[in-house]
Amino acid sequence: MVLIIIFGLFVIGSIFGFIYQKKLSIAIKKKVSERFFIGITGLAALLIISFVIYLLIHILMIGKERISLDFFISKPLEGLTEGGIFPAIVGTALLVIIMSIIGVPIGTITAIYLTEYTKKTSMVAKIIRFAVNTLAGVPAIVFGLFGLGFFIGVVGKQMDSIENTRKMQKLEAIFNSKNSPFADDGKAKSSEIQTILESDDKLYWAFQIDLIKILDGMYGANTAIDKKVVYDFYKERTKPHWAQPALIWAALTMALLTLPVVIVSVEEAIKAVPQDLRDASLALGATKLTTIIRVVLPGSITGILTGAILAVSRGAGEVAPILFTGAAYYLPDLPNSLNSQFMELGYHIYVLTTQSSNVELTRPLQYATTLVLLLLTFALNFSAIFLRSKIRTRQSKLS
């Protein structure tokens, strides 16, 4: 098929070259050239549309047998060969929403700074643009490694260190209180330790209460244990809370990945706002900040939405950045906090195609999940496009 297309283009080009070499009038040459290039661009557009339609039909034909209401609302079962993808849908939606909330405002503010507060020859602007261009060319897997090393290994670890220090200080205060079972001789049984922790805050000390079973195995349920031994036991077994793959770290990593797209699109939209509108606002006594908020941003809102659309499109389909920062192989429970791991549609497709014990058995499930991912991406895009169209219509009526 591709060879036939290339041969056809070669024949058309040869005919065009032969005609063009003849001593024809300039008007005829321009007309022939215009129609030729219109035909070439139209053919290219038709090929792209044809490939997209073929891809969608191919995915739909194979995946339709698994599409059902149960597929959308149930969790994966039987080693990912049965059930549905509801946790992956929720995880993907949360990832995209949090990523957009973080990335789009930062990208918009950066674009405003580059266009409104710096000159083109400014060294600061050159450095920022160099950084943006560099980020745009970095492979997605590198963003994942950066998220693992920085967000989890540095930021999360420091947050856990602060939280664990505060928790151990509170635990020490409980052990040294007058009502503590350690108050008499500095020793207490495991059942007494459990009672005082539950009376303070059962939910807050849930992890420490669960560890009492290990204390029973080490010293016995009826043995009085020294206070320092218990304190050191808990200190050595602090549980990571933020220094682990989590939804927030995956969203931050994806926000960094999509940041160049947002900055470039918003910057171009801001540049399209006529300078006369800025000058008129400043001449009326408005400050620069007021001009940006009341004139520049409303005039470039469609470009900001375009940046958000592009960010959502890329963020929903990328897998590499979240491999190390939050995505889970199998997690039927929905994420209930920012530090929870989550399932994601793109990663779920990767797991089905590479980690399944029977790829042929899961093939319909792979295609059905791919179809859902495409539909979710299209829905997010069309929503933003619809909103952008409404805003443009409203602006045209006002003008």
Q: Do residues 105 and 161 both lie within one domain?
A: no
Q: Do residues 139 and 193 both lie within one domain?
A: no
Q: Do residues 336 and 289 both lie within one domain?
A: yes
Does the residue 324 lie in any domain?
yes
pLDDT of residue 12: 56
Does the residue 65 lie in any domain?
no
Say what angle helices 212-219 and 190-201 make with each other, to 10 degrees.
170
Q: What is the mean pLDDT of residues 79-94?
A: 85
Q: Output the CA–CA distances (angstroms, integers) from residue 379 to 211, 247, 373, in the order listed.
A: 46, 22, 10
* pLDDT tens figures, 187-218: 888 888 888 888 888 888 888 888 888 888 88
CB contact at 8 A, 190 and 212: yes
Q: Do residues 268 and 372 both lie within one domain?
A: yes
DSSP structure class, residue 321: G
Does the residue 357 lie in any domain?
yes
Q: Output the CA–CA distances (angstroms, integers) from residue 176 to 186, 195, 296, in the order listed.
A: 9, 15, 61
Q: Do residues 281 and 371 both lie within one domain?
A: yes
Q: Do residues 313 and 358 both lie within one domain?
A: yes
Which of 236-250, 278-292, 295-309 is predicted least confidently?
295-309
Does the residue 272 lie in any domain?
yes
- For the ranges 34-43, 248-257, 308-317, 350-359, the maximum mean pLDDT occurs at 248-257
Does the residue 343 lie in any domain?
yes
pLDDT band at 157 (very low <50, low <70, confident <90, very high): very high
Among candidate residues 205, 236, 267, the one where a domain is terminated: 236
Q: What is the mean pLDDT of residues 15-24?
A: 52
First CA to last CA distance, the chain = 50
Phi/psi of residue 240, nearest 5 degrees: -65, 135
Residue 234, Cβ density class (10 Å: 0-12 exposed, 13-18 middle, ≥19 buried): buried
Among candidate residues 236, 252, 273, the one where a domain is terminated: 236
- For the ranges 207-211, 299-303, 386-390, the maximum mean pLDDT occurs at 207-211
pLDDT of residue 15: 54
Residue % of the chain over a pLDDT of 70: 90
In angstroms, the CA 169 to CA 161 distance is 12
In angstroms, the CA 12 to CA 46 distance is 17
Total residue count of the chain as it appears in this document:
399
Q: Which residues lie across from 113 on neighbouring strands?
A: none
The range of the structural domain enclosing residue 31 comes to 26-60
Does the residue 77 lie in any domain?
yes
Our CA angle for 89, 313, 62, nearest 5°, is: 55
User: Which pair of structure tokens corresponds to residue 14?
Assistant: 């040869």
pLDDT of residue 27: 59
Q: Do residues 308 and 352 both lie within one domain?
A: yes
pLDDT of residue 2: 47
Q: Do residues 165 and 291 both lie within one domain?
A: no
pLDDT band at 3 (very low <50, low <70, confident <90, very high): very low
Whole-structure pTM value: 0.81
Q: Do residues 140 and 170 both lie within one domain?
A: no
Does the residue 289 lie in any domain?
yes
Does the residue 10 lie in any domain?
no
Q: Do residues 146 and 266 both lie within one domain?
A: yes
Q: What is the mean pLDDT of residues 72-76?
A: 87
Give the count of domains, the chain. Answer: 3
pLDDT of residue 147: 93
Q: Do residues 147 and 290 both lie within one domain?
A: yes
* pLDDT tens figures, 115-138: 988 887 888 888 988 998 888 888
pLDDT band at 331 (very low <50, low <70, confident <90, very high): confident
Q: Do residues 351 and 262 both lie within one domain?
A: yes
DSSP structure class, residue 188: E
Give the number of other CB atoms < 10 A from CB of residue 349: 22
Is a pLDDT exceeding 90 seen at residue 359? no
Among candidate residues 60, 84, 106, the one where a domain is terminated: 60
- CATH classification at residue 285: 1.10.3720.10
In angstroms, the CA 67 to CA 372 distance is 9
User: Which pair of structure tokens corresponds to residue 214?
Assistant: 């290990």
pLDDT of residue 398: 60
Give the number of other CB atoms < 10 A from CB of residue 376: 17
Helix (H) or strand (E) holding 82: strand 82-83
DSSP H helix total and E strand total for the chain: 18, 4
